[in-house]
């Protein structure tokens, strides 16, 4: 892993986040978030509940609009302290694909329809081509046989993998995962993590919010520990997870790895 | 009942059926369709974050629900001509009924839209859909499931409420029964037939409702 980190540090940054702030009413959730993600690397975001880690992820897709700060993904850079016009926002959004904790599949559409919805309706790609792509993606996430099922007919892990395929189908540059396994039964977690690990091996640039520390150790090139709306500590997993320099990071890891 | 009554019924079965098919059913159907369109826009206005728009929708709903349908009919047909707006009986009835359905169904549609989890809006947003596309392809198809039973109620009520149009000279089912019964005073027989006709329409609608509900349930785990 450390080799990979060194190798990737020569890559240009695909994602740069500078001075991002976000408040909900009086509550400042993100106070000053800055970090960069080199292309082809995986960044895992950890932190206590309420630390703002999910909000960080959501600002990257403008699901939550940052109040201030600059976020650049690929060649689209947005300064959120200024008013953002619709077209720019749409272009910014199109840079990243989002996988939700609760998968949020469209329940009234089949697995295949869920995946081609974005490519066909939003990106206006030819339907036949989108279907070919979708079937390939379904094979990739191990669900080749489930194309014509409705989401309710799948297990939680399968639903989540469809959610991943749906995000991939839009061919984003960056994949965002918001606690993709937190809502799953423990025995289903592995299937989803394996799919994400394979994406990492394929060279996808990803930002993953998760509580799966062992998984983070395996796939992350960079770990961010977020608390109280700031990045308290960041670095390669061996450092942040293995030998954290901050007492708060140590406390947090201890609580997660040894809950009682 | 004597044979004269039977003969009276027999003579009026057909004219009453004609009135049902040419007046009552079109009146209900057209008003319901217009009403749903109005209701959708009023519901969206009510959900708007722009305050004056939401307030206007609230006032509209309050006026419609707070006044008798018969009064609404009379205002359209008898009061509007006073300010120079003369409308024929049938279009006047369609106008009043549409506005009325619009007010009631707006609340149904609003509640159905609110019943869809926020995650569905967000998922649509992240795949790049705008507001209108999200409504069309994600929210309304799902909201339909919640809305069909109460909207069926609205439609069934409307079918029966079309009888009120008899008061503004629309020769619909009840009006024809009234006219036929007047010379003989045999109200029981003819109003009985009218009641059966209304009932049959509503039976058919209930059946259609069940079919539609079953169709909309097909993607839901049971």
Quick check: A167 and B126 CB within 8 A? yes
| Residue B58 C-alpha from the chain's centroid | 20
Q: Which of residues 163-192 of A touch B (CB under 8 A)?
A: 166-167, 170
When CB atoms are compared, the residue of A90, A104, A122 closest to B122 is: A104
| DSSP letter, residue A12 | P
CB pairs under 8 A between A and B: 59
Quick check: A63 and B122 CB within 8 A? yes
Distance from CA of B133 to the nearest CA of A (A): 9
Tokens linked to A86: 């619709």
ipTM of the complex: 0.90
Distance from CA of B217 to the nearest CA of A (A): 9
Q: What is the CA radius of gyration of chain A?
A: 18
Report how far residue A157's alpha carbon sits from residue B142's, in angstroms, rounded to the nearest whole number: 23
Statement: residue A10 has pLDDT above 90? no
Tokens linked to A148: 């014509």
Distance from CA of B208 to the nearest CA of A (A): 21
Give the H or E element holding residue A187: helix A186-201
- What residues of chain A lie within 8 A of the CB of B119, using their CB? 100, 102, 104
What per-residue confidence (pLDDT) applies to B5? Answer: 86
When CB atoms are compared, the residue of A106, A150, A166 closest to B120 is: A106
Quick check: B219 and A104 CB within 8 A? no
Tokens linked to B154: 């609205």
**Cβ atoms B174, B166 nearer than 8 A:** yes
**Interval A28-71: pLDDT, tens:** 999 999 999 999 999 999 999 889 999 999 999 999 999 999 99
**Which residues neighbour B61 within 8 Å (Cβ) at sequence distance 6 or greater?**
B42, B46, B103, B106, B107
Statement: residue B48 has pLDDT above 50? yes
Q: DSSP alpha helices (H): ranges in chain B? A: 3-19, 25-46, 51-66, 69-74, 89-114, 118-126, 131-134, 140-161, 173-181, 187-216
Quick check: B220 and A94 CB within 8 A? no
Strand order, beta sheet including A96-99 = A76-79, A68-73, A13-24, A27-38, A230-235, A222-227, A42-46, A205-209, A174-178, A96-99
Q: Specify the pTM.
A: 0.88
Report how far residue B145's alpha carbon sits from residue B142's, in angstroms, rounded to the nearest whole number: 6
Q: What's the average model confidence in pLDDT over B18-22?
A: 95
When CB atoms are compared, the residue of B117, B128, B141 closest to A118 is: B128
- What residues of chain A lie within 8 A of the CB of B138, using their CB? 106
Report how far residue A76's alpha carbon sits from residue B64's, in angstroms, rounded to the nearest whole number: 50
Distance from CA of A170 to the nearest CA of B (A): 7
When CB atoms are compared, the residue of A61, A102, A152 closest to B219 is: A152
When CB atoms are compared, the residue of B123, B129, B142 closest to A122 is: B129
Q: Among candidates A142, A145, A156, A187, which has minimal Cα distance to B221?
A: A156
| DSSP letter, residue A81 | T
Q: Give the model's confidence band at B2: pLDDT under 50 very low, under 70 low, under 90 confident, else very high.
A: confident
Give the H or E element holding residue A247: helix A247-257
Statement: residue A258 has pLDDT above 80? yes
Q: In chain A, whose CA is at the least distance from the CA of B220?
A: A152
- Number of Cα atoms under 13 Å in the Cβ half of residue B149: 7
By the CB < 8 Å criterion, does A117 face chain B?
yes
What per-residue confidence (pLDDT) applies to A2? Answer: 44
Quick check: A107 and B142 CB within 8 A? yes
Q: In chain A, whose CA is at the least distance from the CA of B218?
A: A108
Taking any CB pair shorter than 8 Å as contact, residues of chain B touching chain A are 117, 119-120, 122-123, 125-129, 133, 137-138, 141-142, 218-221
**Interval A149-206: pLDDT, tens:** 999 999 999 999 999 999 999 999 999 999 999 989 888 899 999 999 999 999 999 9
Question: B10 φ, ψ to 5°?
Answer: -60, -40
By the CB < 8 Å criterion, does A73 face chain B?
no
Quick check: A107 and B125 CB within 8 A? no
Task: Name which of B118, B122, B123 to mutate to probe chain A: the one with the most chain A Cβ atoms within 10 A of its Cβ.
Answer: B123
**Cβ atoms A218, A225 nearer than 8 A:** no
Report how far residue B43's alpha carbon sits from residue B113's, in angstroms, rounded to the nearest whole number: 9
Give the H or E element holding residue A128: helix A127-140
CA angle B48, B50, B56 (to 5 degrees): 80
Q: In chain B, whose CA is at the least distance from the CA of A115?
A: B127
Statement: residue B98 has pLDDT above 80? yes
What percent of chain A lies above the pLDDT cut of 90?
Answer: 85
By the CB < 8 Å criterion, does A224 face chain B?
no
What per-residue confidence (pLDDT) applies to B222? Answer: 57
What per-residue confidence (pLDDT) applies to A5? Answer: 46
Q: Give the model's confidence band at B1: pLDDT under 50 very low, under 70 low, under 90 confident, else very high.
A: low
Q: Give the model's confidence band at B24: pLDDT under 50 very low, under 70 low, under 90 confident, else very high.
A: very high
What percent of chain B lies above the pLDDT cut of 70?
Answer: 99
């Amino acid at each position: 892993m450390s080799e990979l980190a060194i190798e990737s540090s020569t890559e240009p940054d695909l994602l740069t986040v500078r001075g991002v702030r976000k408040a909900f009413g009086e509550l400042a959730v993100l106070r000053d978030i800055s970090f960069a993600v080199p292309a082809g690397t995986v960044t895992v975001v950890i932190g206590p509940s309420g630390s703002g880690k999910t909000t960080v992820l959501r600002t990257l897709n403008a699901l939550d609009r940052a109040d201030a700060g600059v976020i650049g993904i690929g060649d689209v850079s947005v300064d959120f302290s200024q008013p953002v016009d619709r077209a720019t926002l749409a272009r910014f959004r199109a840079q990243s694909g989002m996988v939700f904790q609760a998968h949020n599949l469209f329940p009234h559409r089949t697995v295949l329809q869920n995946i081609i919805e974005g490519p066909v309706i939003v990106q206006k790609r030819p339907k036949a081509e989108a279907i070919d792509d979708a079937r390939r993606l379904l094979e990739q996430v191990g669900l080749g046989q489930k194309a014509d099922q409705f989401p309710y007919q799948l297990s939680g892990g399968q639903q989540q993998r469809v959610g991943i395929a749906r995000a991939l189908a839009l061919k984003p540059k960056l994949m965002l995962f918001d606690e993709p396994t937190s809502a799953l039964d423990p025995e289903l977690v592995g299937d989803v993590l394996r799919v994400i690990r394979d994406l990492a091996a394929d060279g996808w640039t990803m930002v993953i919010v998760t509580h799966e520390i062992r998984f983070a150790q395996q796939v992350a090139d960079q770990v961010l520990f977020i608390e109280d709306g700031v990045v308290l500590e960041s670095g390669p997993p061996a450092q942040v997870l293995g030998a954290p320099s901050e007492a708060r990071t140590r406390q947090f890891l201890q609580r997660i790895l040894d809950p009682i | 009942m004597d044979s004269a009554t039977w003969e009276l019924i027999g003579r009026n079965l057909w004219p009453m059926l004609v009135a049902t098919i040419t007046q009552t059913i079109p009146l209900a159907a057209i008003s319901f369709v217009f009403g749903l369109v109005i209701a959708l826009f009023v519901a969206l206005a009510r959900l708007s974050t722009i305050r004056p728009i939401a307030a206007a929708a609230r006032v509209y709903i309050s006026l419609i629900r707070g006044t008798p349908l018969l009064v609404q009919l009379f205002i359209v047909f008898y009061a509007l001509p006073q300010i120079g707006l003369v409308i024929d009986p049938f279009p006047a009835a369609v106008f009043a009924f549409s506005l009325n359905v619009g007010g009631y169904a707006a609340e149904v549609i609003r509640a159905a839209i609110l019943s869809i989890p926020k995650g569905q809006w967000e998922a649509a947003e992240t795949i790049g859909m705008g507001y209108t596309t999200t409504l069309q392809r994600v929210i309304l198809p799902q909201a339909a499931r919640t809305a069909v039973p109460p909207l069926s109620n609205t439609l069934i009520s409307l079918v029966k409420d079309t009888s009120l149009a008899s008061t503004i000279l629309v020769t619909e089912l009840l009006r024809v029964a009234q006219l036929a019964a007047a010379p003989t005073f045999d109200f029981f027989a003819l109003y009985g037939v009218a009641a059966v006709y209304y009932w049959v329409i509503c039976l058919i609608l209930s059946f259609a409702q069940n079919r539609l509900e079953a169709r909309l349930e097909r993607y839901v785990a049971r």
